[in-house]
Amino acid sequence: MKRGLFITLEGPDGSGKSTQIEYLKTYFADKNLPCIFTREPGGTAIGEKLRSIILDKENQEMCDMTETLLYAAARAQHVQERIKPALEAGTIVVCDRFIDSSIAYQGYGRNLGDVVRIINELAISGCMPDVTFLLELSPEIGKSRICEENRDRLEQEKLEFHDKVYAGYQEIAKIYSGRFVEIDAGMQKEEIRDEIYTQIDRILRGE
Ligand code: TMP
């Protein structure tokens, strides 16, 4: 079976993933390669509805396990409806956040631990990314880049939560070092872009 390339971008809030995704659109368009861009939570009609429930600032009473299961439910739908069919058709999939966000935010940030990985492995049924770019930026700087009134329920969390998420990301990147590419998100956006381009060039050459 043909299989496309599955690329994910991860990092703390405010780390500049959206800017890099715009650069990747240009990269793949210039190369004329079939590619879809999607995001989590979201990427499907059901997933986008779940996204608005999860991120709604009014839902302060949401418990940590509910949050975890909603992210995983949106992800299960996303994998079955969009990601798997695209990869099977040989399309490149670029996804803004995926399973590692749940492990970092719910596993480490909410202290739920390894159960988050187990739930999410069920949700993705083997559909793991081929490469994950982790944009590393201190939570203090990340938070300061998002203006206060635009912060969603997760972004509103205390710095202590975001510090745990950041530490979590660093541990995950060590555990899955073969898949992760760590990038200093404090660099200029063009330098980050070039680093990502170099890595994808390498992967496309089959190295
Ligand atoms: P976004 O702002 O990057 O679109 O992501 C929405 C928020 O949801 C962000 O604060 C990270 C958080 N999140 C999780 O906590 N767990 C997850 O599994 C995902 C995908 C995102």
Q: Which helix (H) or strand (E) holds 35?
A: strand 35-39
3-class secondary-structure state, position 181: strand
Strand 35-39 relative to strand 131-136: parallel, antiparallel, unpaired?
unpaired
Taking CA atoms only, the protein residue closest to ligand 1 atom 7 is 154
Average pLDDT of the segment spanning 152-167: 92
Measured between alpha carbons, how far is 143 from 57 in angstroms, rounded to an integer? Answer: 16
Give the pLDDT score at 112: 98
Whether 14 shows a pLDDT value over 50: the answer reads yes
- Residue to probe by mutation, ligand 1, list 101, 155, 156, 159, most atoms within 8 Å of CB: 101
Average pLDDT of the segment spanning 109-136: 97
Measured between alpha carbons, how far is 29 from 51 in angstroms, rounded to an integer? Answer: 28
* Superfamily of chain region 6-204: P-loop containing nucleotide triphosphate hydrolases (3.40.50.300)
Which ligand 1 atom sits closest to the C-alpha of 154? Answer: 10
Give the pLDDT score at 73: 98
Give the pLDDT score at 151: 87
Chain centre to alpha carbon of residue 108: 15
Whether 1 shows a pLDDT value over 60: the answer reads no
- Domain locations along the chain: 6-204
Q: Which of 186, 139, 146 is nearest to 163 (CA)?
A: 139
Measured between alpha carbons, how far is 20 from 26 in angstroms, rounded to an integer? Answer: 10
N-to-C CA span, the chain: 20
Give the pLDDT score at 150: 82
Measured between alpha carbons, how far is 34 from 50 in angstroms, rounded to an integer? Answer: 28
Distance 97 CA to ligand 1 centre (A): 7
Average pLDDT of the segment spanning 113-125: 98
pLDDT digit string (tens) for 50-88? 999 999 999 999 999 999 999 999 999 999 999 999 999
Q: Which residues have any ligand 1 atom within 6 Å of their CB?
A: 13, 39-41, 55, 71, 97, 101-102, 105-106, 154-155
CB–CB of 174/194 below 8 Å? no
Give the pLDDT score at 128: 97
pLDDT digit string (tens) for 183-207? 999 999 999 999 999 999 999 999 8
Give the pLDDT score at 2: 56
